[in-house]
């Protein structure tokens, strides 16, 4: 039973009967926690039909619903807001439909397909804290769209070409002495990152040497031997020089191996990988066709531009004078290729930081000018940067917090706090290791996802791991507590089926409060997709866990002598645990059976 739909129909029926007109502007929303009730009718738009004040309209409507709707026990009016109190029998019917649906919250397939891009790293260094927020956001949004009935394709574009890649290659040739991940014992992406840092260090030293000899800063930056070596390697790569190409493939393979290990630890996956080294050529072809069609124009130096001044933007270069492509060129090719590969997708969601907002505004506009109607269905899931309290976490290079380091330290902190709290009674060491991993990574993911993606955020590792408050471990602990209740019920042979719930006629206020939150799950899943925001689910999971804990504290479950009430409370607990588990999985977080 969908209480929202039932109440909406009842209110529409009341409006028609009272005011002899239909309404297409009915606003039904959850009641503010300050007031009694679960659903609120906003009566201001209805005054055009009633010809009365908002308060009087609400009062007349409330009286009618109480007398005729069959599910409204009482009402209260606050200005032009009609707050409805639903009968307990209706709440029991709502719960029966929830309890009987083991996949509650997930909507049926809608026949639509969508693509979600996330991660999209450069192959010259390991993943960092920003990539964690990116991956967790993209993965979670993909899971949320799945729950809304979409077929979802998870992809990434790997930026595997360009001068930044050649910098690592040049430094390795100069300083590497044949070092490999196997000989060094260093994870592949970290090893390549080490040489990217080595390039920067050597480059700065060479620039300083040249400027000391009287050469200008600008010229020194061009003449530095290590930069000239990297530029030469890029030219050779573009000319398919066998030795350069082989080194590029070898070092990229080290990085991919390292990335895969990090992704596995993160708990994210991809259906298809796209590579810039493949897609930039398609983008270049498309841009040249755009010149022929008059969509783009060439400047005297041979560079290709798009003029977006009529759209309130500026002119944007798409091909340099030497014919080489820019990032925009690659993204044009990638977008087109994806719609060729997956022709049924209704759109693409790009999970990329907010510093690229202008870039994506331009990209979608260019694709529209090229005649691709699907460009209007592309969306930039923009997110803010993540800051850390200074001194809280180590960083590999002093400026960037490494993703592997951060995940390891979160798990270590989870172990430390769990052991200190003495929460490991009866838990084997093998299970304890899994639990530390579950809590540490759960805390990290939840903290990064509970904030609206658009906002810049401060990640506090110590706060994120706490068992109390707006944290992942609090929800994980609530789930484990409920599972202990279910196990106790099973040990004393108490089982529940939907038919057992027929006998219940009244509810305690704490039970009703849990049901109110529990019944919102489907709506929250819809809202999360509309807003492209996992924070909607994170906030919902916290609200449900918090409401259940209030119920647990106020009503002793196993002291109840009325069998129907006892079974309902066990069933309610079971439904909450299942919903918490499904909600957290949408965030990529697993919950423990014991904790």
pLDDT at 480 over 70: yes
- pLDDT (tens digit, 9 = 90+) per residue, 201-220? 999 999 999 999 999 999 99
Q: Cα–Cα distance between 161 and 334 in angstroms, integer?
A: 14
Tell me how far CA of residue 589 lies from CA of 440, 458, 493, 581, 592, in angstroms.
Answer: 10, 20, 31, 8, 10
| pLDDT of res. 390 | 67
Instruction: State mean pLDDT over 294-321.
Output: 95
- pLDDT (tens digit, 9 = 90+) per residue, 145-169? 999 999 999 999 999 988 999 999 9
| pLDDT of res. 396 | 40
The total number of residues shown for the chain amounts to 595
Q: Where are the domains of the chain?
A: 3-86, 403-586
Fold classification of 403-586 (topology level): Isoleucyl-tRNA Synthetase; Domain 1 (1.10.730)
Pick the closest to residue 437 from 322, 284, 595, 200 (CA basis). 595
pTM: 0.93
pLDDT at 398 over 70: no
Fold classification of 3-86 (topology level): Gyrase A; domain 2 (3.30.1360)
pLDDT at 465 over 50: yes
| pLDDT of res. 2 | 84
Instruction: State mean pLDDT over 404-420.
Output: 93
- pLDDT (tens digit, 9 = 90+) per residue, 59-106? 999 999 999 999 999 999 999 999 999 999 999 999 999 998 989 999
Return left, alpha or beta for 185; rule: phi > 0 is left, psi -120 to 50 is alpha, else beta. Answer: left
Structure tokens at 260: 């895969």
| pLDDT of res. 301 | 95
The answer to whether the beta carbons of residues 148 and 107 sit under 8 Å apart is: yes
Average pLDDT, the chain: 93
pLDDT at 391 over 70: no
Label the pairing between strands 72-78 and 113-117.
Answer: unpaired
| pLDDT of res. 72 | 96
pLDDT at 397 over 80: no
| pLDDT of res. 399 | 61
- pLDDT (tens digit, 9 = 90+) per residue, 229-268? 999 999 999 899 999 999 999 999 999 999 999 999 999 9
pLDDT at 414 over 50: yes
């Amino acid at each position: 039973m969908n209480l929202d739909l039932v109440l909406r129909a009842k209110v529409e029926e009341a409006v028609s009967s009272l005011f002899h007109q239909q309404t297409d502007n009915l606003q039904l929303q959850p009641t503010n926690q300050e007031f009694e009730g679960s659903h609120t009718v906003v009566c201001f738009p209805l005054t055009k039909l009633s010809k009365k004040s908002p308060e009087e309209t609400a009062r007349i409507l409330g009286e009618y619903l109480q007398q005729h709707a069959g599910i409204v026990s009482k009402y209260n009016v606050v200005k032009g807001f009609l707050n409805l109190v639903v009968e307990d029998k209706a709440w029991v019917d709502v719960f029966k439909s929830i309890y009987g649906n083991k996949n509650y919250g997930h909507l049926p397939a809608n026949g639509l397909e969508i693509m979600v891009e996330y991660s999209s790293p450069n192959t010259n260094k390991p993943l960092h804290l920003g990539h964690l927020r990116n991956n967790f956001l993209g993965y979670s949004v993909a899971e949320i769209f799945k729950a809304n009935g979409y077929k979802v394709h998870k992809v990434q574009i790997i930026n595997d070409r360009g001068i930044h890649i050649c910098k690592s290659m040049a430094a390795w040739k100069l300083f590497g002495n044949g070092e490999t991940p196997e000989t060094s014992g260093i994870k592949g992406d970290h090893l390549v990152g080490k040489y990217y840092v080595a390039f920067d260090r050597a480059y700065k030293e060479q620039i300083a040497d040249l400027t000391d000899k009287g050469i200008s800063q600008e010229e020194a930056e061009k003449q530095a031997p290590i930069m000239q070596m990297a530029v030469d390697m890029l030219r050779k790569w573009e000319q398919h020089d066998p030795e350069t190409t082989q080194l590029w493939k070898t070092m990229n393979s080290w990085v991919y191996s390292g990335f895969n290990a990090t992704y596995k630890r993160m708990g994210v996956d991809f259906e298809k990988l796209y590579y810039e080294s493949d897609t930039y050529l398609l983008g270049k072809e498309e841009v040249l066709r755009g010149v022929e069609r008059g969509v783009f124009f060439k400047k005297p130096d041979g560079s290709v531009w798009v003029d977006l001044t009529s759209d309130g933007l500026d002119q944007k270069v798409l091909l340099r004078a030497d014919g080489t492509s820019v990032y925009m060129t690659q993204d044009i090719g990638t977008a087109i290729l994806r719609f060729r590969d997956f022709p049924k997708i209704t759109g693409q969601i790009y999970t990329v930081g907010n510093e690229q907002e202008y870039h994506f505004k331009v990209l979608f506009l260019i694709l529209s000018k090229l005649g691709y109607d699907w460009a209007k269905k592309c969306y930039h899931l923009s997110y803010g940067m993540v800051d850390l309290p200074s001194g809280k976490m180590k960083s590999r290079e002093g400026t960037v917090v490494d993703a592997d380091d951060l995940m390891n330290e979160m798990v270590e902190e989870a172990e430390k706090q769990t052991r200190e709290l003495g929460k490991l009674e009866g838990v084997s060491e093998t299970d304890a290791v899994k639990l530390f991993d579950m809590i540490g990574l759960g805390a990290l993911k939840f903290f990064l996802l509970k904030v609206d993606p658009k906002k810049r955020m401060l990640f506090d590792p110590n706060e994120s791991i706490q068992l109390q408050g707006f944290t992942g471990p609090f929800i994980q602990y609530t789930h484990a507590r409920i599972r202990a209740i279910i196990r106790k019920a099973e040990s004393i042979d108490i089982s529940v089926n939907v038919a057992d719930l027929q006998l219940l006629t009244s509810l305690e206020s704490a039970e009703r409060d849990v049901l109110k939150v529990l019944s919102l799950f489907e709506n929250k899943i819809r809202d999360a997709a509309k807003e492209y925001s996992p924070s909607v689910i994170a906030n919902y999971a916290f609200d449900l866990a918090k409401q259940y804990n209030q119920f647990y504290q106020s009503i002793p479950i196993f002291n109840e002598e009325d069998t129907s009430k006892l079974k309902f409370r066990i069933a309610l607990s079971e439904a909450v645990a299942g919903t918490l588990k499904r909600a957290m999985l949408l965030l990529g977080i697993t919950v423990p059976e014991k904790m």
